[in-house]
Amino acid sequence: MENQPIGFLDSGVGGLTVVKEAMRQLPHEDIVFIGDQARLPYGPRPTDQVQEFTWQMTNFLLKKNIKMLVFACNTATAEALSVIKPHLSIPVVGVILPGTRAAIKATHNQRIGVISTEGTHKSQAYVEAIHARNPDLEVMSMAAPKFVPLVESNQFDTPLARKVVEETLAPFKNSGIDTLILGCTHYPLLRPLIQSYLGEDVQLIDSGAEAVSEVSVLLDYFNLTNSDTQHVGIKQFYTTAAPEMFDLIATQWLGLTSLRAQQVHISGDQSWKRN
């Protein structure tokens, strides 16, 4: 089982920020990634639809014989993980608890900010996870609905992006937080702009990167780590939309020269209803 791939799912290219960290920390592991670009953004969608789409991606990855599943998407983690996890026999990892743990470890002044999609923000998943650990921490949570479209349209390092980042994050400026959770896996692509606007005194927590540490712990715990250290992990990328834009962003972000995503259709899959 240790030679099987790890599956990663996201609404779009954001999950690649998690894949990038996995490639660094776990170079021998095979990876299968699916981004549901045809139906993004997930943030504004109703919960039952997020669950349906996430089930469809999960079923697609299960057919690829994965040994572990990573919800590389905060919205899917907040709205679908607790529903899907009990049905699966493989370990399932989300991004919210790892981001929460890292932020609690990082803050010195007990004031944490969170930015996320509307769905994640409304679910209060981060606020609840933080307060479940320490009710005395002050948490300032906000939705940043314009960030995902910026990243998916490959405009994440443009003057427009800078303007949107500054407008969106204005309430955090001088708010006294010393730690900001990037509560959507798309946001690390905007990290330079976010850090530059908020200043070096605010620590940015990349919840996706933190999730890879959890993947590593669970691979070891369940004896699933690929022990073939000569093996260079094989990466397969799938998207539900036309792959050109995916390839452009993924090549640039992952530094892989010959990346080719394949387009797949998963929206007809109704098998999740049996679960």
State the residues that interact with its own copies by CB under 8 A.
Answer: 25, 27, 91, 97-98, 101, 105, 131-135, 213-214, 216-218, 220-221, 225, 227, 229-230
CB of 219 to its own copies, least distance (A): 10
Q: Between 2 and 269, name the residue whose CB sits nearer to its own copies.
A: 2
CB of 220 to its own copies, least distance (A): 5
Contact 93, 214 (CB under 8 A): yes
Identify residue 271 by its one-letter amino acid code. S
Catalytic residue selected from 6, 50, 184, 211: 184
Spatial separation of the C-alpha atoms in residues 154 and 13, rounded to whole Å: 10
Contact 34, 241 (CB under 8 A): no
Spatial separation of the C-alpha atoms in residues 93 and 119, rounded to whole Å: 19
Q: Between 38 and 127, name the residue whose CB sits nearer to its own copies.
A: 127
CB of 101 to its own copies, least distance (A): 6
**Residue 239, annotated as binding a ligand:** no
Q: Has 73 been annotated as catalytic? A: yes
Supply 161's token pair.
């992006």
Burial class (CB in 10 A: 0-12, 13-18, 19+), 62: middle
Q: Has 19 been annotated as catalytic? A: no
Spatial separation of the C-alpha atoms in residues 137 and 155, rounded to whole Å: 35
Spatial separation of the C-alpha atoms in residues 216 and 143, rounded to whole Å: 30
Q: Between 227 and 262, name the residue whose CB sits nearer to its own copies.
A: 227
CB of 232 to its own copies, least distance (A): 12
Q: Residues at the annotated binding site for substrate?
A: 10-11, 42-43, 74-75, 185-186
Catalytic residues: 73, 184
